[in-house]
Chains A and B, each alone.
Chain A
């Protein structure tokens, strides 16, 4: 499987017609094999926000990787912030609503700013002091809290506010499609992406590191501080040990064939603990390209990842994507009859489709539509259920 080079940038020329495209006739029966796309262009990705969190961009904005796009409030809680008397109350960071009328004495300086103010509405960013939370400071510095307004009852507002705030930087460039405080930011990414099956953690960015794999696996000990800032291709499966080590080494992400539910649960708990602590952390995301059970990475994807080695990539968690915005992408050459076993005892093996074999009896007395396949480096043919196979399309 030799790579060929094609231009797949979203703005540049399109890839040449792939052999698996619908325009090319497939061998009989192959159309019943499940297709798997290995590349998507200009995907739309989502960064979720919650109550107390705000978007720093608006729909239509063009953003680059590293642009601050959102502000998170890890310690947000719902508090009663009292009455907000209207247009004068809002949008003055550091000045509480009660004192705002006094604070805007300088008419010349404040008038244009006041004109820009809007009345308090749900979702609006609000900044106040600890005294607004019913805890007047005693010999302590006044802690400012900020967050979003939630709702008003009987003239009193409730808001989701916190003292700690973290700025989220865009892991990829693109155009903001939608940005709503407390809800989400959606971005149409400039570039292409490899779709994954599972993602966890946070959106992150780093250079792609494709180390030498031993039997398709990466040993956890290979994750050292030298890989700090990288998104590392970790082989067929990510272990809990590798995840812990990667996070300790400031690695930005891991890409593997599979990851187990236990590891995902551990990671979620660890991230929650880290959020609750005061220590800031670098974003870390992981993607499993296949699923939950151990399987080697598909060779077309491995070829694509190898071609991207050393380039900047981003991990998107919703949907699970490995995003890259490079212009020239060497695409793997896909033979029309190239198939991979998706599940079953031969899972992960690849070979060539020879012909459909009709209804066959398999283990357990189960009758299934079958196909004859010749695996790589084998001279004998194997009969497999068609439902266990997948073929790749660009």
Chain B
């Protein structure tokens, strides 16, 4: 919401850089809202309501939600088009500006009145420099969010969900563990695999054998 503090626009190799879309990827948010409102709209139109249903019927409340949902979609779209997100990387921000931003939310505005003036001491300079460096290093990346990591995590979970009942808990959970560990930047795939198998087996013993939860044993169980 506070774009004024950013003055510097150097950023290398950002996806969609220089196009109108730069800083407007936030339009995903109204897109989600709009899609969900449409889901509600279709549901309301196709709903089969009994003739004798009491007056504020089952469609009444979802209708309100849907209308508010569409209104928010429009407002959010306007907000994102008018105020693109700052995608630029800052040099060190002055401590005062940073604190001011921290104190500008409604929750914290209660505190703002009590701020010390003049500002005496905040985060040590080393910390802020480290933060700025981290931001700068990040800007060298191709994209803002690390979609490769994300794909490992989400893909791992999808694979886990799909093979769980066939392959059994121990194998599926170990796979999930391994994929997420990889998505977090682990560089030792073989060692990870042993950790993953140990972990999933321990969970199986603790929860399925001792606490009696229903976890599939899959191909490892009973088959041979």
- Decide whether A and B assemble into one complex: no
| Interface set of B (CB-CB < 8 Å, partner A) | none
| Interface set of A (CB-CB < 8 Å, partner B) | none
